[in-house]
A and B are shown apart, each in its own frame.
Chain A
Amino acid sequence: MRVVVDYDLCESNALCMAAAPEVFEVRDDDFLYVLQDEPPEELRAKVEDAVRRCPKQAITIEG
Chain B
Amino acid sequence: MPAEPPIESPSDLGQAYSLLASGDGWRPIAGGTDLMVQITGELSPPPDRVLDLWRLDELRGISLDGDVLVLGALTTYTDIRLSDLCREHLPALVEAAATIGAAQIQNRGTIGGNIVNASPAGDTLPVLLATDAEIVLGSATGERTVPAADFWIGYRQTARRPDELVVRVRIPVPGGRQVRFRKVGTRRAQAISKVVMALSWRPDAGVWRDVRVALGSIAATPVRAPETERVLEGAAPRSETADHAAVTIAGEISPIDDVRSTADYRRVVTARILHRLLREAGGW
Real binding pair: no
**Which residue numbers of A lie inside 8 Å of B, CB to CB?**
none
